[in-house]
A and B are shown apart, each in its own frame.
Chain A
Amino acid sequence: DIQMTQSPSSLSASVGDRVTITCRASQRFSNYLSWYQQKPGKAPKLLIYAASSLQSGVPARFSGNGSGTDFTLTISSLQPEDFATYYCQQSYSTRWTFGQGTKVEIK
């Protein structure tokens, strides 16, 4: 199994801040990495697929990067609607796994 470890588990930030969330895999793989945003009581929403491709309709302030074992999600200028929990997910191994989540809160 590939374990996905996100850091930090939570963070406090202000509107306008640049925020970066890291996802580290327990073994190397190619770009089978996606990022999701989840708000309370709602289904997750796809933000980034194939490590760096922006899903249609997602604001350009979201970007993804990385390869191998280290992947990042960056929000260039945090907006009020971005306060949520973010998950990475790998679909490379036979057991697809998610990171434990990063909760982005208002400072």
Chain B
Amino acid sequence: QVQLQESGPGLVKPSQTLSLTCTVSGGSISSGDYYWSWIRQPPGKGLEWIGNIYYFGNTYYNPSLKSRVSISVDSSKNQFSLKLTSVTAADTAVYFCARTLDGASDAFDIWGQGTMVTVSS
């Protein structure tokens, strides 16, 4: 079965760049039936969609984050990655990667366990 696992630093300094990687196992990231997403959740708060990427590289970003976000894919490693620049304390959150159904409703059907990222000096 397909599993997703986030990895990356748990602590990032203000104004620096947050970088996370999601490794997909049990299936190919190049499957045309899905695309791949990042979602975050500040402590004690709700969920915020960050953006999506198709295996061939097309990306879609949350307009509120678009100027700071970049999502890329490495099919050879079965991974996709998130970069968020110029971070502040407001970017402190649990970051989830997820597989997204490409079809009737674009639902997030498989999630990683999440990784906590704290922005602090």
Contacts and interface: CB of A to CB of B under 8 A. Distances in A.
Contact of A50 (B48, B49, B62, B105): B105
Interface string A16-49: 0000000000000001111010000011111001
A12 interface: no
B109 A95 contact: no
Contacts, number: 66
A55 B110 CA distance: 11
Interface in B17-57: 46-49
B87 interface: no
Chain B: interface residue count, which band?
20 to 34
Nearest to B6: A43
A50 B62 CA distance: 21
Nearest to A93: B63
A98 to B, nearest CB: 4
Interface of B: 46-49, 60, 62-64, 96, 101, 104-109, 111-114
The 5 closest A-B pairs by CB, nearest first: A91-B106, A49-B107, A43-B111, A50-B105, A34-B107
